[in-house]
Amino acid sequence: MTIETKASDASVESYEVRGAMREFLGAFEQFKEANDARLDALEEKKTDDVVLIEKIDRINEAVTEQKRQVDALALKSKRPALHEGAPVAPDERKAAFQRYMRAGDASAVAALEQKSLNAGTDAQGGYLAPEETAQIVARAVKDISPIRQIASIREIGANVFRKPVSNGDAATGWVGETGARPETTAPTITAVDFPTMELYAMPAATQTLLDDAVVDIEQWLADEVQGEFAIQESAAFVNGDGINQPKGFLDYTIAEESVRAAGQLGYVATGVDGGFPASNPSDVLLDLIYTPKQAFRANGRFVLNRSVLGQLRKFKDADGNYLWQPSAQAGEPARLLGYPVTEAEDMPDIALGSHSIAFGDFRRGYLIVDRVGVRVLRDPYSAKPFVLFYTTKRVGGGVQDFDAVKFLKFSVS
């Protein structure tokens, strides 16, 4: 008698992750060998070998792509299955929303919204998706939005989040055990507003797809809107001007650290216009690391784009060790000088006066505000024979602590 055994989905995914991790580490070893050969040739000839440079650039791109694949597979293996475990009781709102999505029957979902006190309901048009659907969308967007993964996130029921901030001017002092306690000066409190702005996507579906009972319509919606939501969000969190979109951290005034005022972010300069110093270029990275206070360095990380990261991978310390090191575990970030690295493609390339590298505690420095709920308006008329789903969520963002994040400016001063 023979017993047939099959590998579980989890074991297959684990095997895929390990295989991708081996390929990633192998690609990095190839990169180091090629770059070491370039440096040896440079010492002998005093000029760079064009062929070697092209080879290194190709391997560098391969390392970046392998890292992306490892992170994607690791994320997939960690994502919990919906309704895992005990069976879930039917959800009245979910059933009503599915009837609206598939057939355009809004009577049941409209009746539920009329008697609901849900804070996410408003008069913007469309209908509020069930909480589970909104969570699917939110989780999918977070998986691919780099800034959302590292910033603080707060959910609210209104359109504006107002955060009280103390200027730290309350009087304090030391007293003896039996000494008098003089009254302290009251602190000055200011309020910082974080308004939410409407973010939308409009995926299209055929009626055939909507009639297919096997298709998970909620997951389809999440898959369709996640990419657009994540792209728009990520760009706004970095460069947004605060007008009909979140205010990105690069849109604030960034002043030289020693002279910056309250409400301004600080930078340190590389000392070279549009580049790193020719000798000991890693010293400016150390200057950047030690610019924030120790409380912010403890959870500090670098944020930069892949082009800048490609240059930093070539840097070595005085002992010949590469400053950039791959993560030892799938799904974990690579490290630069011991600190994790987040790739954000909306960060600028290195150029004259650019703030291309950020470092600090982004969880304390940048706040993302989400108004609860995702709204969907079904439109079967505008693009016949397709059915459009105008999907909206409200998102805001801005700097909440100007001491937490610093920048490297590629300029003389």
Range with the largest mean pLDDT of 44-53, 170-179, 345-354? 345-354
Give the ranges where 193-243 is alpha helix by DSSP (H): 207-211, 217-239
Q: Give 264's strand partners.
A: none
Dmax (CA) for the chain in angstroms is: 89
Please tell me the predicted confidence (pLDDT) of residue 72. 65
Quick one: how far is CA 326 from the chain centroid?
19
If one compares 267 and 23, the residue with the highest pLDDT of the two is 267
pLDDT at 211 over 90: yes
Please tell me the predicted confidence (pLDDT) of residue 329. 75
If one compares 52 and 137, the residue with the highest pLDDT of the two is 137
290-317: average pLDDT: 95
Closest C-alpha among 62, 61, 70 to residue 18: 70
Please tell me the predicted confidence (pLDDT) of residue 263. 92
Q: Which helix (H) or strand (E) holds 110?
A: helix 107-114
Residue burial 222-236, b: 16+ Cβ < 10 Å; e: rest: bebbbebbbbbbbbb
pLDDT at 372 over 60: yes
Lowest mean pLDDT among 68-72, 228-232, 261-265: 68-72
Please tell me the predicted confidence (pLDDT) of residue 165. 73
Please give the single-letter amino acid code of residue 332.
E
pLDDT at 245 over 50: yes
If one compares 148 and 22, the residue with the highest pLDDT of the two is 148
**Could you tell me the pTM of the whole model?**
0.79
Distance CA 99, CA 127 (A): 12
DSSP string, 149-184: HHSEEEEESSSEEEEEEE-S--------TTS--PPP
* C-alpha torsion sign, points 28, 288, 240, 149: positive
Lowest mean pLDDT among 76-90, 180-194, 297-311, 379-393: 76-90
Q: Judging by DSSP bridges, how do beta strands 339-343 and 301-304 pair with one another?
A: parallel
Q: What is the dihedral of CA 26, 31, 34, 39, to 10 degrees?
A: -140
Distance CA 253, CA 242 (A): 13
Please give the single-letter amino acid code of residue 85.
G
Please give the single-letter amino acid code of residue 136.
I
Quick one: how far is CA 32 from the chain centroid?
28
Residue 208: both structure tokens together: 């055939």
Please tell me the predicted confidence (pLDDT) of residue 83. 45
Lowest mean pLDDT among 18-32, 155-169, 181-195: 18-32
Contact 240, 397 (CB under 8 A): yes
pLDDT at 343 over 60: yes
Contact 248, 236 (CB under 8 A): yes
Residue burial 255-294, b: 16+ Cβ < 10 Å; e: rest: eebeebeeebbbbbbbbeeeebeeeebbebbebbbebbee
Q: What are the C-alpha distances in Å from 236 to residues 141, 177, 233, 345, 398?
A: 14, 53, 5, 12, 10
Please tell me the predicted confidence (pLDDT) of residue 113. 74
Write the pLDDT tens digit of every residue in 375-399: 999 999 999 999 999 999 999 999 9
Q: Judging by DSSP bridges, how do beta strands 405-409 and 265-269 pair with one another?
A: parallel
Cis peptide before 385 (omega within 30 of 0): yes
Q: Which helix (H) or strand (E) holds 289?
A: helix 282-289
Please tell me the predicted confidence (pLDDT) of residue 5. 45
